[in-house]
Amino acid sequence: MRVLFVGINPGIRSSLTGHHFAGFSNRFWKLLFESKLVPEPIAFSDDDRLPEFGYGITNIVARATPGIDTLRPDEYVGGRGRLLAKVRKYRPRVVALVGVTVFRSMFPEHKGPVPLGLQRQMLGDSALFVLPNPSGRNANFSYTEMLAAFKALARYRRAARLRAARYGEVSPKP
């Protein structure tokens, strides 16, 4: 697995549809395509196709809520442990935390601002990348800023693939 995308928790619509990032105003799928992380437009109903592109997707907390304000601290603590177990099992090259809140839930000891992009922290042997939360409720980032962050992940992936090819570690899929 090349990239494991990690959200906070499913929203109500995601819970009802059984698909990740299914909210009407969520821009995750559009950002994947426009950043060239996927070669064709896909929708939330196509989330089961992510492995075709070398991706996985999960959440810190499994419980669906209309927003994150009702999530309990113990849910984040349990989610950290489950995510670390998934990272050890699937060994993604990159863990992409979809939202600064996901980063803060994984690293509660971190103080100060959380920049988008590659982080100095790692999860197991996986590089850590922070993306903005693509929810329509996120007023902290414009669509242009979100797209720039997703494009930065695409560039990082391409550069990592080139480095791996140089050392004979690349798989046949892009």
CB atoms within 10 A of CB 139: 7
- Contact indicator for 78, 23 with CB cutoff of 8 Å: no
For residues 4-23, give the mean pLDDT: 90
**Coil, strand, or helix at residue 6?**
strand
- The domain in which residue 83 lies consists of 6-166
pLDDT at 153: 98
The answer, yes or no, to whether residue 16 has pLDDT greater than 70, is yes
pLDDT in tens, 110-156: 999 999 999 999 999 999 999 999 987 777 899 999 999 999 999 99
**Domain membership flag for residue 1:** no
CATH number where 34 lies: 3.40.470.10
Determine if the pTM surpasses 0.85. yes
- What is the spatial order of strands in the sheet that 94-98 belongs to? 55-59, 3-7, 94-98, 126-131, 117-123
Extract the tokens encoding 41: 């437009």
Measured CA angle at 7 (ends 45, 155), to 5 deg: 85
The answer, yes or no, to whether residue 169 has pLDDT greater than 70, is no
**Domain membership flag for residue 151:** yes
**Domain membership flag for residue 172:** no
Extract the tokens encoding 127: 């590089």
Q: How many domains does the chain have?
A: 1
**Burial, 81: exposed, middle or buried (Cβ in 10 Å; 0-12, 13-18, 19+)?**
exposed
**Domain membership flag for residue 174:** no
**Domain membership flag for residue 88:** yes
For residues 2-19, give the mean pLDDT: 91
**Domain membership flag for residue 158:** yes
**Domain membership flag for residue 84:** yes
Query: Which band of pLDDT confidence, cut at 50, 70 and 90, is reported for residue 174?
Result: very low
The answer, yes or no, to whether residue 172 has pLDDT greater than 60, is no
**Domain membership flag for residue 34:** yes
pLDDT in tens, 66-121: 888 888 989 998 999 999 999 999 999 999 999 998 999 899 999 999 999 999 99
